[in-house]
């Protein structure tokens, strides 16, 4: 095999800077930075410089440091050292006075809907991508009106907006999706990724007549209004648009596939199940990313894959559960989606809830267990080969909470349910047992079903009453729980991070983000959770209570563990890309990251800055 062929089998990945962050803490300044996936197998160490003077006396091996002599007026940069040769310095950063970065927002004005309801806006789901090719992430933020609706509920909604911000709060653009896109968790699934490999991310989502792009151009008929008296949009054209990430300019618009067709095929004629959308990014050829847009999951389910390459949008394949031979895939979709190479052929599959679609658009398998609200995909049990899928299901059954082999669908073990199991979590929170621990909200009225090891052993009758998100936050390899303090009467949630005290069976608070708000009611998710900067630990973005800013919280705990940035792990990076979709779920890694882990393999990736070398 030639060197060129070996390089072409590597996956395209973003070229990132060090992502240096410095935070004032009680005993000095905490500094963290990225170890890139392309550097992981190298014997790379680091030198840290404060105000131009080297701080460390011995090489730094982990990608974080506590400078006890630093203060709020210091500035820092870091240099990699390879074979005793110091490399180019990183960006220079100033010190934060708090453990969060404030990103100012341009909050849209509210309005009044045709039925006389006044509405305001709040910041909602977010995603990230390097839209200008500078090696730093920009934030793509969705604004939701206060009168947004679930598909099952009648009512007009305000327009949905997508904004792009740099981390200093500079607004790059705003896209107004217009009156023919309804607001709600199931309507606008937006993808932020570099699909054409030019080093700059694009933004892809469903659009309609009257959508206004980031440079003020209107898509379709600016005057069209297809809303019915219930506020649903059940007629008129539907589009799919690829936007330039740096400007918000519409690059191409095509008809959305699949079209609505017969509403009853999707489950009803009322505008509910026909407009349940999902979306994801997948490396269907194993090398470069593709767009996958999806419609339906309660009955009919359709997935359509596209490539955006060299200025052209090309349809690759279409999977439709109505096609002969695909009947078993109807009704298996979740309120979310995941992507991973489950069969280890180097190409990604789409985990569409209780079924999996292969990279070529053919069904890989279906379990027949039906729809569910929560799902986790990763190496949850390190003692068995491959990946696992942990899922909860809406229909009461013997496999209401189950974990299965991701490649075959074989149920490894399960817990029976007598109700809709609305929540489930997989995270390594107890070092006494190998792999992730698993728990769900089944039997929640009687205290829950308990906490289980990845192999199915019941660890405790008590499980954490936290099911929303999990986050790598402090210095050990266990995962913490990301949730919110929720007031059911007011519907207000304040972001928090907690650690499971496995010896006493209770949660210990690590952070309460006073002045922030969680998203999407009891779902309690942040705007985004991802490894945005610093070392391999994760950051979390919450909105402020008045939505005039975002806050990006980062850890200040030291860790001795040396792991490459999680954004260079393909499963994790794609998890960040689909995190905003419908009922948000936390990302997982392709390798087991937890207590007692082995050194993970270096990711098989190439950074886009090397693309000319790769193709030559």
Residues ≥6 apart with Cβ < 8 Å to 512: 485, 494, 495, 496
Average pLDDT over residues 313-321: 98
Q: How confident is the model at residue 608 (pLDDT cuts 50, 70, 90)?
A: confident
The DSSP code for 377 is E
Neighbours of 347 (CB within 10 A): 16
**Cβ(157)–Cβ(231) below 8 Å:** yes
Instruction: Answer yes or no: is pLDDT of 120 > 70.
Output: yes
**Cβ(401)–Cβ(417) below 8 Å:** yes
Residues ≥6 apart with Cβ < 8 Å to 229: none
How far is the C-alpha of 263 from the C-alpha of 259, rounded, in Å? Answer: 10
The DSSP code for 522 is G
Check residues 27 and 8 and name the one with the higher pLDDT. 27
190: tokens are: 């937006």
Residues ≥6 apart with Cβ < 8 Å to 236: 180, 208, 209, 224, 226
Q: How confident is the model at residue 9 (pLDDT cuts 50, 70, 90)?
A: confident
The DSSP code for 109 is P
**Model confidence pLDDT, tens digit, residues 410-468:** 999 999 999 999 999 999 999 999 999 999 999 876 667 999 999 999 999 999 999 99
* This prediction's pTM: 0.96
**Model confidence pLDDT, tens digit, residues 546-574:** 999 999 999 999 999 999 999 999 999 99
Instruction: Answer yes or no: is pLDDT of 369 > 50.
Output: yes
Average pLDDT, the chain: 95
**Cβ(340)–Cβ(351) below 8 Å:** yes
Instruction: Answer yes or no: is pLDDT of 392 > 60.
Output: yes
How far CA 34 is from CA of 48, 91, 219, 528, 574, in Å, comes to 13, 12, 40, 19, 19
Tokens 């090891």 locate to 453
Query: What pLDDT was estimated at residue 1?
Result: 34
**Cβ(239)–Cβ(169) below 8 Å:** no
How far CA 232 is from CA of 179, 205, 227, in Å, comes to 11, 19, 5
Q: What percent of the chain has pLDDT over 70?
A: 97
**Model confidence pLDDT, tens digit, residues 67-86:** 999 999 999 999 999 999 99
Instruction: Determine the 3-state secondary structure of 601 from DSSP.
Output: coil
Q: Which residues of 118-132 are buried (b: 16+ CB within 10 A; e: fewer)?
A: ebebbbbbbbbbbbb
Write the burial class of residue 169 (CB in 10 Å: 0-12 exposed, 13-18 middle, 19+ buried). middle
Q: Please give the helix or strand (H or E) that residue 121 lies within, else none.
A: strand 121-129
Instruction: Answer yes or no: is pLDDT of 4 > 60.
Output: no
The DSSP code for 387 is -
41: tokens are: 């197998």
The DSSP code for 612 is H
Q: What percent of the chain has pLDDT over 90?
A: 94
Query: What pLDDT was estimated at residue 615?
Result: 38
**Model confidence pLDDT, tens digit, residues 258-268:** 999 998 999 99
**Cβ(249)–Cβ(211) below 8 Å:** no
How far is the C-alpha of 238 from the C-alpha of 207, rounded, in Å? Answer: 6
**Model confidence pLDDT, tens digit, residues 322-365:** 999 999 999 999 999 999 999 999 999 999 999 999 999 999 99
**Model confidence pLDDT, tens digit, residues 492-524:** 999 999 999 999 999 999 999 999 999 998 899
């Amino acid at each position: 095999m030639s060197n060129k062929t070996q390089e072409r089998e590597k996956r395209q990945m973003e070229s990132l800077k060090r992502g240096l962050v410095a935070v004032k803490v009680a005993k000095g300044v905490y500094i963290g930075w990225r170890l890139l996936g392309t550097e992981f197998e190298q014997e790379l160490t680091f030198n840290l410089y404060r105000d131009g003077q080297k701080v460390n006396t011995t090489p730094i091996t982990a990608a974080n440091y506590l400078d006890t002599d630093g203060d709020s007026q210091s500035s820092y940069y870091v240099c990699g050292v390879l074979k005793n040769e110091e490399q180019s310095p990183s960006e220079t950063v100033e010190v934060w006075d708090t453990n969060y970065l404030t990103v100012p927002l341009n909050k849209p004005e509210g309005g009044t809907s045709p039925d006389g309801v006044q509405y305001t806006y709040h910041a909602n789901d977010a995603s990230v991508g390097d839209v200008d090719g500078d090696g730093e992430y920009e934030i793509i933020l969705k604004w939701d009106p206060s009168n947004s609706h679930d598909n099952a509920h009648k009512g007009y909604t305000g327009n949905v907006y997508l904004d792009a911000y740099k981390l200093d709060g500079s607004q790059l653009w705003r896209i107004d999706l217009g009156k023919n896109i309804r607001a709600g968790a199931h309507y606008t699934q937006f993808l932020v990724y570099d699909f054409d490999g030019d080093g700059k991310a694009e933004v892809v989502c469903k659009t309609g007549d009257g959508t206004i792009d980031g440079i003020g151009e209107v898509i379709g008929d600016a005057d069209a209004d297809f809303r019915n008296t219930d506020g649903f949009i059940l007629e008129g054209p539907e589009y799919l648009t690829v936007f330039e990430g740096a400007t918000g300019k519409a690059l191409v618009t095509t008809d959305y596939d699949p079209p609505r067709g017969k509403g009853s095929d999707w489950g009803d004629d009322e505008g509910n199940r026909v407009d349940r959308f999902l979306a994801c990014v997948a490396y269907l050829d194993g090398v470069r990313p593709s767009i996958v847009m999806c419609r339906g999951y309660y009955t009919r389910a359709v997935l359509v894959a596209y490539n955006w390459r060299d200025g052209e949008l090309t349809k690759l394949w279409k999977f439709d559960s109505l096609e002969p031979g695909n009947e078993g895939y109807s009704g298996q979709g979740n309120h979310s989606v995941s992507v991973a190479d489950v069969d280890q052929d180097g190409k990604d599959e789409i985990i569409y809830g209780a079924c999996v679609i292969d990279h070529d658009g053919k069904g890989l398998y279906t379990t027949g267990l039906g729809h569910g609200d929560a799902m986790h995909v990763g190496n949850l049990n390190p003692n068995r080969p491959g990946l696992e899928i942990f899922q909860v299901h809406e229909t009461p059954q013997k496999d209401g909470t189950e974990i299965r082999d991701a490649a075959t669908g074989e149920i490894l073990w399960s817990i029976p349910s007598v109700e809709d199991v609305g929540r489930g979590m997989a995270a390594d929170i107890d070092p006494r047992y190998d792999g992730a621990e698993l728990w769900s909200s089944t039997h929640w009225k009687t205290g829950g079903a308990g906490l289980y090891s990845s192999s199915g052993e019941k660890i405790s009758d008590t499980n954490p009453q936290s099911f929303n998100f999990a986050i790598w936050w402090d210095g050990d390899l266990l995962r913490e729980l990301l949730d919110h303090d929720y007031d059911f009467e007011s519907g207000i949630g304040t972001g928090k991070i907690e650690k499971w005290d496995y010896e006493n069976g209770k949660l210990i608070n690590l952070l309460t983000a006073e002045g922030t708000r969680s998203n999407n009611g009891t779902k309690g998710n942040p705007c985004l959770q991802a490894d945005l900067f610093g070392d391999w630990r994760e950051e979390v973005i919450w909105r402020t209570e008045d939505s005039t800013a975002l806050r990006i919280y980062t850890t200040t705990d030291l860790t001795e563990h040396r792991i490459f940035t999680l954004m260079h792990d393909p499963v994790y990076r794609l998890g960040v890309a689909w995190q905003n979709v419908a009922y948000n779920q936390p990302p997982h890694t392709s390798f087991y990251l937890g207590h007692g882990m082995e050194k993970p393999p270096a990711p098989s990736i190439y950074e886009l800055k090397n693309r000319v070398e790769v193709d030559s």
